[in-house]
Every structure is written in structure tokens, then in C-alpha cells.
A and B are shown apart, each in its own frame.
Chain A
Amino acid sequence: MTTTSTQANGLGNVAAPIQERDRVTVRFAGDSGDGMQLAGNRFADATAVFGNDFSTLPDFPAEIRAPAGSLAGVSSFQISFSKHLIFTPGDEPDTLVAMNPAALKSHLAALAKGGLLVVNEDAFTAGNLKKANYPSNPLTDGSLDGYRVIKAPATTAAVAAVEDLGLTNQNAERTKNFFALGLVYWLYDRDLQPTLDWIEERFGRLPNIAEANRRALYAGHAYGETTELADAHVRVPPAVLRPGEYRTITGNQALVLGLITAAHLSDLELFYGSYPITPASDVLVELAALREFGVRTFQAEDEISAIGTAIGAAYGGGLGVTGTSGPGIALKSEALNLAVMTELPLIVLDVQRSGPSTGMPTKTEQTDLLQVMFGRNGESPLCVLAAKSPGDCFFMVLEAVRLAFKFVTPVVLLSDTYLANTAEPWPVPDITQLEQIDVPYRRLELGDPADFGPYVRDPDTLARMFVPPGTKGFEHRIGGLEKADLSGDVAYTPENHQRMTDLRAEKVQRIAHFIPELEVDGPESGDLLVLSWGSTYGAVFTAVNDAREAGHEVAHAHLQYMNPFPRNIGDIVSRYRTVLIPEANSGQLRMLIRANFLVDAQGYNEVTGQPLSARLLTEAIIKHATA
């Protein structure tokens, strides 16, 4: 595919004059069976081909099929696209597509007054209105007066378009999402071709279904063209992206690609032990389909077994990885501590979700930072990294693997629901340009077995001498009991425990000498530093820039290394009158910064299950900048 900005809709009609805008945010909302995620993803593909920068935010209930038409069953997909580079899926939509009353009820509050509302009027039946707790029909009672409303007969028009194909009623009605998609394509001047190609690829073996979806798509497009919707016809010119080859990527896809690439760059065998858990399951599912890359996936009987098998693979000298979410980390904590005590190169992916307990499995949060830092018995330091964007998940996996083997230590990589599911354009990395990952244990000079000890350490990194089974003459035992320094034998002496406690801590701290320093965007010192970490990068970057445009001087630094911190962070946080730390938790990084550097850091905190709002954060930044 190549980028095009021509209007190849294939219909040949002369469109009404198009308004041009810099950025638009559209939200599709409907029943979880209505195909909103599918529609949203098609729109994202078409947008990618058109050449906008974009970011998406899928939001769906944990229930697979809540009762049809119910408020609990509403699923949505938001996409923001722009002629400029963007870093968030947008706070509030400019356009809301509501496929039924429950979707309208759940999402109308997010739509700006005067915003464009596209509703499937066929779904506004007495039954559906009742399920959404509407006492009267909002389409007729005047409650939508402040919005521009397009009442489209999506169901009946789609059914009419496909009626001679001999589909069941249910299958005919199911095409209504393509009708809605066609209409939105017309509104935003998207090319139909990528979606037509996709329909052929996906449904080619079911010609009737493929034809029905095509017809519904065309019908929706034609509806836009022939109805009086001129004021809603909008075009967002393509963005100027760095030249190169792009694809769309989600955070979970990037984790998968990162793991396979890391195995390739290190020449290690990848073993992924995991137990299905939202929102990390996709990593297991996608890796399981890539056996041709030598991937050994293992769907364990529980979270503990998942990490146990990964520890076994790591002990064997392989690339042992486990992936989970917060509740799974809680279950894995004892085994994770075994990896700390035995000092094994284990990779743990934590795709965070809303807690506590089962919490909100499909919603996002940054609430596992302190859990992975401290949620284990004893003093148990390990390396913690955090990805800042979907594409960054790829590079942080490579970094996690590099550090795990260099320091012979478990490494936790934090992602979250938002990164896992959000999609963005991603410049495809050139595999030949990526640095090989060094695996020091393969080039250890072992010397005389009589002098060998599994806890003899490298003087620079303090990495222990990791010798996997199979090496003749160096047979030894490790385990969860405290180790004697050097020999690794079981030891209970007070001096040894103090020494080993210090060594474990010092080893993790030394990682700071082998990672990049923290960079500050903006003034080197001054009134306000905004310090962020992980998935909030896009929202914080956007908010900082908006505050600057409003005339405020603001510095921004973003952390991807959570433990140890970059070595210059203490110096940086001491150079500003105020340090503001925005987080999708109640202040976990803030607690660490205060504790480590005695800085009276301030927080901006949202724990809503949704990504941070760039607009509200901008207000908070301006407030602190002017305080």
C-alpha cells in the first residue's frame, strides 16, 4: 500500500464542499455484538493509508456478550487523527456514532456541545429505550437540541441493501456496522478501498457475507452523499511523518514482536509461560501462532506455574518470559522472589489493569508500580522498566532482555491496558540495524572447577557467574535459601546475610551506569518540571505543549527506567521550584521521588480506569506554573 491523498471513493459523484480541519476525534459506540471494534479498526486502517497521524482507544466491557441493548454491554472505539503528530487518542470526541440508546446514554456526556452525533435511529425502539433507562425517546424529546444530529436508518438501510442475497435476518442486520462505517467514511473523506480489500481477505471464502458487507459499506457512503450533510463533510489533510515504511501497532503486538526479535538478536530460545488474563492474553495468543520462529509457548495451569516454567527455562539458559496483569503478579510474587534469590535472567511482562482485586479487567491504570517494586517478602530488589507508547513496548522488551542477561537479574516490564490496545502508526524497524543482545554467560571463562562458585561476581556489573546445567565439572545447586557469598552454599551467618542483601541491592543500582540519563525537554531549571512515566507519555507531552502554547515555561522529563532510576534524576528534580508528577494512580512515583530525593513533589492523579485527560492535565500544569 502507498499513501494517497486523492479521493478515490469510486462513486464518481461530486461531493459537497469540504471543510478542512487539523484534527478530528471520532468515537464509535454500540452494543458489544455490534462490531464497533471492527468498525474502529477498519477506520484506523483507512486513516493510516490516507496518511494522517492517529491514535486509537478501544474501550470494552469485560463481559463478552452482556445482554443486548444493556448499558453494561456498551463497547466503544475512539480514534483521533490529525495533520500534525499526535500523542493521544483525544480527550473528547468531535463526533459520536451511537448504534443504540444504551451507547448514546453511556457516551453522550463525552461529546462536546455542538458536536456531531450520528445515531442508528432504527435501534431506538421502546424496548431498547427502556433497557437504557430512557423515560422518553431522546431523538424526539428535544434533549439532543445542543448537538448536530444525523438520524440514520442504519439497520433498515443495510438490510435493504443486502435483501436479495438470501441472508438470515440476523446476518443481514449485522451489516449495520458497515453501513455506519461507510457513512463515517463519507463524513471524513476516507478511501473505501482498504476496507474493501480487507473484506475480501477476511470474508472471501463466504462470498455472500463479503458482498453484504461491501453493499452496506457503499450504502452508508451513499447515504452521506445524498443526504443534506454538507456542514458535516470534513477533511483532515495528511500529516507530515518521517519518511519510511509504516505499519499500525498496538502495545501487545509490539511486545510479541519485541520478544521474537530479542530471541533473534540474542540467539536464545524463547519460552513464554503464561496463564490467560486480560489484558495480557493476546501476547500468549499471538506468540502461540508463531511456532515457525521456534517460540515455545506454554499455557500454564495457573499464574504460579506460568512463572515457574519461565524460571525453569531461564535456569536452563533460555529466554524465559512470563506475561500477566496485576492480579497475576500478586500470585507470582513468591516465585519472582525465587528468581531474585537465585539471580536468574527472567523477563516478566506486567500489562497493568484497574485494581484492586479483579477490579476492572478491561480498564487501564498505572497502579502496579509499587507492587512490582516492593510486593515481595524480604528485601527483594529487581529491575523495573516501563514502556511509554505502543511502539516503545518493542524497544523496551529488547532493553529488558539486554539488562536481564547483562546483570543476571529478573526484569519487570510495565505496560498497561491503554498501551496494550491502543494503535498508532509505527515506523517498521530495520532488523539489520538493531544491535545484537550480548549474552555474557556464553563467553564466561570458567577456569578451574575447583575455583568456581555460582555467586562469584563480575566486578563491574556484580552479575553472578551464571552457568546453566550441561556444563561438565561445574555442577552446583542453587535455591531459595540464603546463599553464601561466592560459593552459593546455604548460609545462615549474620555477616553473610548482610553482605548478600547489600550485594543484591548494589547490583540492581549498578544498572544505572548502563542505561541512558534522563533527558529534560524544556528549561534546564526553573519553576516547573513535569515528571511522568510509562503510558502517560502521550497525554503529558500533549498537555505540556498546550501549556507552553498558552505562554507558560514548563520542563518535561519522562521515565522509562523505574528501578534503578537514571543516575541524573536526583540532580534534575532538585533544579525546579515545583515538580509535578501526573500518574494514573494516587501517587506511586511521587512516593518514590519524595522518599529517594526529599523533594516535595506534587501530584496530578486520576484513577478512573481511563487514560489521563490531556485537557484536565493542561489546566493542572498551568495552575502549578502560575502558582
Chain B
Amino acid sequence: MAIKTKLSRRNFMKAVAAMGAATFLSTYKSEIVSALKEAGDYWHINWLNGAGCTGCTISFAQAADPDIVEVLTSITVGDSKLPIALPDYMETIHPASGTLAEELKERWAHGEPGKRILIVEGAVQEPGWCEIAGKDFREHLKEAAEIADYIIAFGACACFGGVPSAKGNPTGARGVKDFLKEEGINKTVINLPLCPGHPDHLILTLAAIMLGIIPELDQYGRPKAFFGRSMHDELCVYRPYYDRGIFATKPGEEGCRYKIGCKGPVVHTDCALRKWNNHVSYCVEVGAPCLGCAEPGFPDKFSPFYDEIPGLPKILGISPTTLGELLLVGSGVGIGVHLGKRVLSKGEHEEEEEE
């Protein structure tokens, strides 16, 4: 069910790239409300937790502007006093436990078609490693995915497997999209990676869905508005160090973090712009390397975390050129030019659709 609004997909991309969540929601609140008044039913959210650490839920609770109480209480459907989006099921903060919690999933399932959102946190494992209410998490996910009108994988684990899928793990952990594909469920999964997922990304994606817009996704299912830009090339404030050849050689020193393992040059995320916890800081700002948690293959592809990126081929067992093609799409100026160590191929910038 598409809702007619002034906001096109293209506008949405521009808006969320430029605005904070609060500005965005206040700008489009009247449209969201008027669209929902017609329907008279709120958006039903089913938030499932698989093999994860609950860090994404906690991250969602760090949303500052609006905060989660505002999200859940300040925009109501018509005169019903019911919030536009109410988690029918959300293990970590929902009042209900046990039998009632599971029954409320039914309320979600019987919500108005077109308005049932499934949010998944955590990876999907082989059978037998995660059981909820006497049923394997895989079954819970399959049932919900078949019903869901929209599926959002929130955080690195749900998107691509994340830390539980690290090499050597015994449970066969993987991302939601991969799992659903194996089960023959071919539905769009909106991937919002990072470890944990960023609360702004989730709130803005929910807002977009309520406005009838599916954000434009890249080849890994990530909204381009959030994951379309190279952190190193387009956003990093420490870039001038890099351009002048000033590098931290040990963690704790000042300078570009490349030589202490920063994966910024091969990572697409808006962390450096949006920052975290009410826009206070991000990993690189406290002298640490970027770990690459926005990308598929995290953590193995980027571990050891304190090693330079050229160490990657050793782990992956593939050639640097192939790696360059895989990872360096859009990374701009070759790292080798500055470092005098290795020349990696320069990828082409992806074309923005609808431009």
C-alpha cells in the first residue's frame, strides 16, 4: 500500500543525507499523520532477536532527537491515542513476557496488510542453537518473514552474520537475507549494518516506510543515503593528515589512523558525519581505527583490526587486485600514492540513480 506524499524517493535520499532524524520527522510529520489518519491503524512492529548481543536494541534506545519515548508516543494515529508504531513484540523492552508475548505476535500478524514491519536483530544460526518459547529462532523468523510487508535487518549480525559468523564459529551464523534466500523467501531486506546499528538509520528508515518510500539500496541491500559514501574520501575530518602524509604509527598518536589499521578507505558509512550518541563522537575521533563494521565480511575481512588494509589479501587468500575490485569501489585516490607502498586500483564511483 503506497501512501501518496510530496516526498519522492530522490527527495528522501537527499533529505536524510542532509537532515538529522528530528528535523526530518518534524518536516514530514504532518504528511505522516495525515497518511495514517485515513488508515486508522498503527504500524505493527515485530522486533525479533536471534544470535546477537542486544546492542542494537540498546543503540536504538540511545536515539536522542527524537528519543524512543517520543517515537512511540508523540505521533498518534488520529484520535486513537495509539502511537503510529507500536512494537507488538520486542523482547528487550516489551512489558509482556512468555505466553502473552508470543500471542502478541499474532496481533502483529493480523495487523493491517501493508503495515507490518519486521525488524531483525542478531544472526540466524543452524537449527538448535537458539530457541524461544520452545521453537527454533529460524522458525520464528521464517513465519514472520512470510507475513511481513517490510523487513529491516538492523545491525551487522542480522545483515551479514557479524561477529557470531566469525571464522571458527560452530553455529553457522549468517545474515537474514541469506537465510531467507535459502528458505525460498525472496523478499527485499533493508540492511542497516554497523555494530551496533545506528538509531538514526532505523528511525529514518521507519519514517521512510511510513511515507511509502523504499530507500534506494546498494548491492548489499544498504540504503545509499546512509552507506553510499566512502568514509575516507568524502567524510573523514582527519583526511588532511592523510593528504599531508602525517600518520599515527601507534594507537594513541595523532595523525591519520590508516597505519594503525583504520579501514576507512574501504568502508562506506556516514559515521564520520552523523557520529554516535547524539552526534558526540565516533571510533576514529577517539584515536581508534575504523573496524569496517558497515561492510559485509566484518569482522574477519578486517581482522587483525590493528593491521593495515594491505594485510587483508593474506587472510582472504586472494590477490590485491581482486580485493581492490571488491572493496575499493568508490574509494578514490589510491592509497599507494600516499604511502609509497602499494598501488591499489581505483574504483569507479557508482552512479546515483534518479539524479
Partners in one complex: no
